Amino acid sequence: MLDRRQWLALLGSAALPLLATAQTRKRGHLVIIGGAEDRKQDRVILKKFLELSGGNHARIKFITAASETPQATWQSYQAAFDDLGATQCELVPIATREDASKSEVVIQLAQADGIFMTGGDQNLLMQCLWESPAAQAMHRAFHLNGACIGGTSAGAAVMSRQMLAQGNATPDPEKDMVSMNIGLGFVANAIIDQHFSQRQRLGRLLSALAQRPDMLGVGIDEDTALVIERGQSIEVVGRGSVTLLDPRKMHTNFDAIDAEEKLEMLGLQLHILPAGQRYAAPIGIKQNKKQPQSLWEAVYLLAQTGPMRG
């Protein structure tokens, strides 16, 4: 891990305005996409990401380390953002853990207005980024510079600290049917799953929550994004829904059964949040009486993003 002095030495004079004005910059946003977002027609989600990054002249950096075809993936997004009028999009050359420690990569990410992680395999992505200077730089861009961090599919899965690493979709939740790993930690209190309705992943996410009942479960449909404004609100953008599961008051037989046996899960709270809806976190404002207390609490937890790492 780099300390403050090492970061200043690495970034040089470019870091001074970033640190000096940290208190006056915009709040960071997360754009967490369920995969298969529209890149050729209305591009509603990509427009939202570009807007939250600062508009057409924002410095947008792309990470394709999750993809088996990184160059083709980059070209697809490059064409989409060119059509949207973005003028400063750039691929960050991260393919290995060694790349994620290079000073030029760290500087690119620390100075970014928006960082977008593409789809593929979240485990490949975390093999590159885990505890790396590049991951530290992403956190500094988000927390200090108010950058927008976006991710689709695998890039969405790594947003949480508790990352769903592997597991097949089954009709019913089963004990130990999924494996967990550590993600980037931008989302502190939830486990994220993607392609949710299209790949029928409710049972998979419930199985993960049985292991970690202290976490919320967030299932995001394709061409749908959960947008989190740090400490303020969540919003659903696109054409699908976000399924929000709250197991914190749940009773389960997890400790009494063997692996692959069916789970009993009683008292779960489930909320369906459709595209076009925004939910404010309960900070200094009166609660909307139309929203149940359980949703109110869940929105608050989602809006409290993880701490800066590194």
How many of the other CB atoms lie within 10 Å of CB of 135?
22
Task: Kindly name the residue from 37, 174, 222, 235 that is annotated as catalytic.
Answer: 222
Average pLDDT for residues 234-239, to the nearest whole number? 98
Question: Beta strands 224-229 and 29-33: pairing type?
Answer: antiparallel
User: Among 3.40.50.880, 3.40.50.1100, 1.25.40.10, 3.90.1170.50, what is the CATH number of 26-303?
Assistant: 3.40.50.880
First to last CA, the chain: 6
Task: Kindly name the residue from 53, 153, 207, 241 that is annotated as catalytic.
Answer: 153
Nearest to 30 by CA among 53, 5, 11, 62: 53
- In the predicted model, what is the mean pLDDT of the chain? 92
Average pLDDT for residues 280-298, to the nearest whole number? 77
Nearest to 221 by CA among 281, 172, 152: 152
* Structure confidence at residue 19 (pLDDT): 44
pTM: 0.92
pLDDT bracket for residue 152 (50, 70, 90): very high
Q: What is the pLDDT of residues 20-75, one digit of tens each?
A: 344 445 789 999 999 999 999 999 999 999 999 999 999 999 999 999 999 999 99
Percent of the chain at pLDDT exceeding 90: 85
Task: Kindly name the residue from 139, 143, 195, 271 that is annotated as catalytic.
Answer: 195
Q: What is the pLDDT of residues 72-129, one digit of tens each?
A: 999 999 999 999 999 999 999 999 999 999 999 999 999 999 999 999 999 999 999 9
Residue 104: active-site member: no
How many of the other CB atoms lie within 10 Å of CB of 258?
7
Domain ranges of the chain: 26-303
Residue 195: active-site member: yes
Nearest to 282 by CA among 295, 268, 269: 295
Q: How many CA atoms are closer than 13 Å to the CA of 204, on its beta-carbon side?
A: 24
* Structure confidence at residue 284 (pLDDT): 52
| Residues forming a β-bridge with 228 | 30, 234
- How far is C-alpha 221 from the geometric centre of its chain's CA atoms? 14
